Structure 1
Amino acid sequence: MPEIRGKRARSRMIIMHAAKELFEEKGLNHVTFNDIATRADMCRTTIFNHFSTINELMLAVMEQEVNDVLSYCGDSRQEGEDLIRSMFEMLIDDTCNYPVLTAKLVANSIISEQERPSLAKLEKVIADNLPDMPDREKEQKVIQLTGIYYGLVNHYFINNYEFDRRKMKRKFNEMANSIL
């Protein structure tokens, strides 16, 4: 995670971290700014100074998660298949830390036209790290790889499995072998 400079930036990160924990514990629709202020040990006004609505806060959390993954990819010395696998392993780690929140943020991002560009950035990283091939073939591989991730998350929820990062990473890599 990048170094956080300045009091305002630190406060924003504390608020977003508190919100992530609460969204996971209570669900997205059951968290208030009062809850977040209490968890972050801040006054409610401070929360409003950063975010005007819970939806704006959720969008910021999603954008931060994507930016963290993109920063990791940019800082990593990996490329190609190794980078793609590492990116999905990081996504799986985040998912295992906050499974309910991650699933809902991803679903909201797919549905919301305003939020789609965040996930499109991740798809671009995948496409840019696939070997040179026709665009149509690249698109199919991007769909298949992201589908494995989304499918795993759905499968774990549907079957009430514990989100075990080691097992999920192994399963992802087994399924991705035929694509990469």
Structure 2
Amino acid sequence: MSKALLKTEGKKVTTHKQIMHTAKKLFEEEGISGVKIERIAHETGISRSTFFTHFNSLDQLLRELADEEIKDLFAAARNSNRGVFERVLLCQLVDDTVPYPYLCMELFVKNLLSREPCNFQELDDALQKTISESAAYNAAKKVFSPKELSALLIGSYFGLVFQKFMRGEAFGDGEDVKLTINKFITLITNRVEDKL
């Protein structure tokens, strides 16, 4: 590949990332429904047509943001030496929620209610697989299926985050949410882990 072509490709990747970063910031500040393509393009310093070179629609941008979140979650969990997979995965989800709590919740809800396949299903699938294969959940599996246990783990995240929104509490650094999730996992597995 020529240097000019490499430079062009590098610029495309940089612009793509800048659009996504700007969109995340605007979505967090104003909500998904409050942000138009023109505003994202303007704030990124690009034309509307350049936006459409990268994304066919706002929905495609949102889907890519959600896909990136899932990819980053699994990469962090795989590359971590911080402990048990499900703890790392859920605590990483909290860490990723901290800078953009409103956007994260909107993306989750929008994806869950979409008629298209939900890219967050991968999270549920991974937790179910981990629970199925882990002896730590044997006692809990006498009462609950791996699917139900996965729902309870994911529900602990949603419940704690939604409770903060309901009560108007600041999300802060998320350490209290991670601590509660860890205590819940310890309760259902009888397995104590170091604090993440």
Instruction: State whether residues 73 and 87 of structure 1, in contact with CA within 8 Å, keep that contact through their aligned partners in structure 2.
Output: yes
Distance 1:115 1:90 in 2: 23
1:128 aligns with 129
Distance 2:169 2:97 in 1: 13
Runs of 4+ in 1 over 4 A off after TM superposition: 132-136
1:72 maps onto 2:84 in alignment: no
Instruction: State whether residues 144 and 179 of structure 1, in contact with CA within 8 Å, keep that contact through their aligned partners in structure 2.
Output: no
1:19 aligns with 23
Distance 1:146 1:178 in 2: 15
| Alignment coverage as a number of residue pairs | 173
2:84 aligns with 82
TM-score, normalized by length of structure 1? 0.87
Distance 1:71 1:96 in 2: 18
The C-alpha deviation readout for 1:121-178, integer Å capped at 9, x for no partner, is 1112212222156696211210110010111111010001100211111122122222
Cα displacement (A) at 1:56 = 1.4
Distance 2:159 2:88 in 1: 18
1:105 aligns with 107
Distance 1:77 1:121 in 2: 21
2:176 aligns with 167
2:188 aligns with 179
Picking from 32, 46, 49, the partner of 2:50 is 46
Paired AA for residue 163 in structure 1: F
Picking from 152, 155, 169, the partner of 2:160 is 152
Instruction: State whether residues 128 and 147 of structure 2, in contact with CA within 8 Å, keep that contact through their aligned partners in structure 1.
Output: yes
Instruction: State whether residues 92 and 169 of structure 1, in contact with CA within 8 Å, keep that contact through their aligned partners in structure 2.
Output: yes
Give the secondary structure class of the aligned counterpart of 1:129: helix
Percent identity between the two aligned chains? 27
Paired AA for residue 87 in structure 1: L
2:192 aligns with none
2:13 aligns with 9
Distance 1:31 1:39 in 2: 11
Instruction: State whether residues 84 and 129 of structure 1, in contact with CA within 8 Å, keep that contact through their aligned partners in structure 2.
Output: yes
TM-score, normalized by length of structure 2? 0.80
Larger Rg: 2
Gaps (5+ residues) in structure 2? 1-8, 190-196
2:145 aligns with 137
Instruction: State whether residues 77 and 92 of structure 2, in contact with CA within 8 Å, keep that contact through their aligned partners in structure 1.
Output: no
Cα displacement (A) at 1:115 = 4.2
RMSD after superposition: 2.1
Paired AA for residue 109 in structure 2: A
Cα displacement (A) at 1:31 = 0.7
Gaps (5+ residues) in structure 1? none
Distance 2:55 2:67 in 1: 14
Instruction: State whether residues 18 and 39 of structure 1, in contact with CA within 8 Å, keep that contact through their aligned partners in structure 2.
Output: yes
